[in-house]
Amino acid sequence: MEGAQAVREALRHARVHELFVTDAAADRHPDLVAAARDAGARVVPVTDRAAASLSDTVTPQGLVAVCDLLDVAVAAALGERPALVAVCAGIADPGNAGTVIRVADAAGADAVLLAGDTVDPHNGKAVRASTGSVFHLPLARDRDAAAVLDACRGAGLTLVAADARGELDLHEPAARPVLAAPVAWIFGGEAHGVQADLAARADHRVRVPIHGRAESLNLATAAAVCLYASAAARRWSGEA
């Protein structure tokens, strides 16, 4: 975890083993250094050059924490009675994955499952784009996307694929009860959306209606519209 914000969240929510810190960063963030010591982490002073070599940003902040990985098993992430879950199936861009995790957190999702060829949520860009949300809700990874969908169904979730050519319009009346029930939203890759075989496994394929002349929404904005449509439907139906 890199930078003051991520390190602060890590100290709050994760197990931190080591904190590498430059003198300047230690002066700027004495609270973080103290919190790391309190948490039992080894605090290691480093030079600017060493901090830069640990960093994957253009302007390193001089603070890098080594933490336990965040992800858990799929069953553990789903828990007993999940009501809203986001499945990322083939998201390649770490910024998009982090943004979807942030949106899922904001919309009240119980977990985010990273399935198939989806980027690692521990990627620095994904962590930054999530602005702390990687720590807020359970994350699980499994390359076997079909197994992830089976686990969701086993947990009582209706499988809904976000699909620009889906048979159900997000805002049509028939979509309302689907969205208000416990749902796993499946989001696919940036270029081609949800793979055909996974979309076929879903109970419904839902499209965000396009009212103007845009061809589509990008992945993160489509996920936001879909997840918040579920949050709204749950609330309106009195289930939330």
Which residues are near a copy of itself by CB under 8 A?
A: 99, 102-109, 131-133, 136-137, 170-171, 208-218, 220-225, 228-229, 231-232, 235-236, 240
Find the shortest distance in angstroms from Cβ 146 to a copy of itself. 27
Query: Among residues 29 and 102, whose Cβ is nearest to a copy of itself?
Result: 102
User: Considering just the CA atoms, what is the radius of gyration of the chain in Å?
Assistant: 20
Find the shortest distance in angstroms from Cβ 86 to a copy of itself. 11
Find the shortest distance in angstroms from Cβ 23 to a copy of itself. 28
Find the shortest distance in angstroms from Cβ 130 to a copy of itself. 9
Find the shortest distance in angstroms from Cβ 215 to a copy of itself. 7
Tell me the C-alpha distance between 17 and 93, whole Å: 28
β-pairing, 84-89 vs 183-187, is parallel
Query: Among residues 119 and 208, whose Cβ is nearest to a copy of itself?
Result: 208
Query: Among residues 55 and 99, whose Cβ is nearest to a copy of itself?
Result: 99
CA atoms within 13 A on the CB side of 87: 35
Query: Among residues 145 and 170, whose Cβ is nearest to a copy of itself?
Result: 170
- Which of 137, 63, 67 is CA-nearest to residue 98? 137
Find the shortest distance in angstroms from Cβ 238 to a copy of itself. 12
Tokens of 93: 């861009």
CA atoms within 13 A on the CB side of 82: 30
Do residues 190 and 235 touch, judged by C-beta distance below 8 A? no
Do residues 120 and 95 touch, judged by C-beta distance below 8 A? no
Query: Among residues 110 and 142, whose Cβ is nearest to a copy of itself?
Result: 110
Query: Among residues 174 and 210, whose Cβ is nearest to a copy of itself?
Result: 210
Tokens of 206: 């839902």
Query: Which amino acid does the sequence have at 179?
Result: L
